Amino acid sequence: VSQHAVNEKGHLMIGGIDSLELAKTYGTPLFVYDLSLIRERAHAFIQTFRDQHISAQVAYASKAFSSVAMYQVMQQENLSLDVVSAGELFTAIKAGFPVERIHFHGNNKSKEELLLALEHNIGCIVVDNFYEIELLKMLTVTHKQKVKILLRVTPGVEAHTHDYITTGQQDSKFGFDLLNGQADQAFLDVYQDEYIQLLGLHCHIGSQIFETIGFKVAAEKLITKMIEWHTDYGFLCSVLNLGGGFGIKYTEEDAPLEPAVYVNEMIQIVKELVHNSSFKMPEIWIEPGRSLVGDAGTTLYTIGSEKEVPDVRNYLAVNGGMSDNIRPALYGAQYDAVIANKMDLPATKNYTIAGKCCESGDKLIEDIQLPVSEPGDILAMFCTGAYGYSMASNYNRLTRPAVVFVENGKHQLAVRRETLEDLIHLDLPLAMEKE
């Protein structure tokens, strides 16, 4: 609690603004993004590469949170963009994001999605499988259009929050297996193609990772393969994309490293391996999502009903829940929170924060110490900027929250709140006669 800014009224401040004012102006539940934090994170990644004199692209993995305005922020920060669907690509194009810095991911891109990418001549398609190679060959020949690609490979490295494992063959739906010949076959399929220009290799080893070892092992495996192709076929890959996955601090228990640490260790191992060969230092690309926007986001909820289960717990219900943040219910994810209008009061009572959805699993936080709460208080849940709004649903026909950007005392709506009318927008009345 002590690290949060608090004003003289005892209210939580976000981006130089009283969070109670934000709640009043825009309503709750409300996602609030402090843009200055996002810019800081983006700059840290980019500067680390600059300091090491490494050509790089830092692509925002926009599945973490995508909207027109957020894409425009990422453009301002000179980031590239990772999109994974026609929807994200369309949004990026509408936002005016430079197409040459858009990278398209996905394990089952449709023909229509690939066509949209080709039409807009985006920077690169991260090719996932043999079917996609076939589709791309067909489309590029038909439209006589060139395309730059990376091949996504699974290096047999799987990183989890606190550890990593290497396996001979990774059980993953993504990418070409690096160790059993699939990646070599994919390489042979494309490296001499007239329209397809192979830039290099991509891998993504997991998410919310705290250690560097998994990234290092993956980098080593990919660069080794690139050197091997250079030796065997005289083909020079120019890009090594090591994906995202850098962990953030949701609660006191989390101990992530600084972005620079992950990046420097990757660079180090690549430099070492390249140095001992005739291979040219590739560009290094990364794709952070969570670590760019996660801790910049805070959700404001209004507290309503309370239920005491004697000797067990006190449920405190907020006016959102698994519909705007599925992560606790889906992954057992943990969060920290405060009562935004009682920052000056001691946290003396233990609560379980429940949502308003009609199922028991709709709990946002189990066991948190807060000041004694009453209806109308504003609960601020921290670190909800990644995979919160982007995974939100209309479960129980709840309307999705508004999203607000704040920075140095300024604020603006970035996504308006859904209305009840929005909810029935796609619905059609019953037209068939009852028999």
Q: Does 287 engage in binding with ligand LLP (CB under 6 A)?
A: yes
d(CA 405, CA 37): 11
CB closer to ligand LLP out of 26 and 210: 210
- The yes-or-no answer on residue 358 being catalytic is yes
CB of 410 to ligand LLP, least distance (A): 27
Residue from 29, 156, 200, 288 that binds ligand LLP (CB under 6 A)?
A: 288
In this chain, which of 85, 182, 291, 325 binds ligand LLP, going by CB under 6 A? 291
The token duo for 371 is: 């000041």
Nearest approach, Cβ of residue 27 and ligand LLP (Å) = 25
- 290 forms part of the interface with ligand LLP (CB under 6 A): yes
Closer residue to ligand LLP in complex, CB, 61/303: 61
Using CA atoms, how far apart are residues 412 and 416, in angstroms rounded to an integer? 10
Footprint on residues 50-109 left by ligand LLP (CB under 6 A): 61, 64, 82, 105
Among 41, 103, 109, 327, binds ligand LLP (CB under 6 A): 327
Residue range at the interface with ligand LLP (CB under 6 A); choices 186-194, 243-251, 273-281, 311-319: 243-251
269 or 386: whose CB is closer to ligand LLP?
Answer: 386
* DSSP of 265-323: HHHHHHHHHHHTSSPPPPEEEE--SHHHHGGGEEEEEEEEEEEEETTTEEEEEES--TT
- Label residue 121 left, alpha or beta by phi (over 0 means left) and psi (-120 to 50 means alpha): left
Two structure tokens written together for 233: 């076929």
What does the alpha-carbon distance between residue 114 and residue 116 come to, in Å, rounded to a whole number? Answer: 5
Cα radius of gyration rounded to whole Å, the chain: 24
**CB 203, min distance to ligand LLP, A:** 8
Q: Binding of ligand LLP at residue 245 (CB under 6 A)? A: yes
Query: Which residue stretch of 11-19, 35-43, 240-248, 314-322 sits at the interface with ligand LLP (rule: CB under 6 A)?
Result: 240-248
Q: Distance between CA atoms of 228 and 216, rounded to whole angstroms?
A: 18
Considering only the stretches 42-50, 242-250, 311-319, 362-370, report the one whose residues sit in contact with ligand LLP under the rule CB under 6 A.
Answer: 242-250
Q: Say whether residue 289 binds ligand LLP (CB under 6 A).
A: yes
Instruction: List residues bridging with 176 in a β-sheet.
Output: 153
Q: What string of DSSP letters covers 315-365?
A: EEEES--TTT--HHHHH-----EEETT-TTS---EEEEEE-SSSSTT-EEE
Annotated binding site: 245, 287-290, 327, 331, 359, 387
Q: Give Cα separations from 347 to 18, 290, 369 (angstroms).
A: 20, 29, 5
Q: Which of 124, 203, 357, 358 is catalytic?
A: 358
Nearer to ligand LLP, 61 or 337 (CB): 61
Find the part of the chain contacting ligand LLP (CB under 6 A) among 19-27, 288-296, 346-354, 411-419. Answer: 288-296
Nearer to ligand LLP, 214 or 288 (CB): 288
Kindly state the tokens that stand for 142.
Answer: 């038909």
Question: Quick check: 344 and 404 in contact, CB under 8 A?
Answer: no
Q: Is residue 387 close enough to count as binding ligand LLP by CB under 6 A? A: yes
CA dihedral 287→292→295→296, nearest 10 degrees, is: -150
Q: Which helix (H) or strand (E) holds 28?
A: none
From the list 1-9, 202-210, 232-240, 348-356, the region that binds ligand LLP by CB under 6 A is 202-210
The footprint of ligand LLP (CB under 6 A) covers 61, 64, 82, 105, 204, 207-208, 243-246, 287-291, 327, 331, 386-387
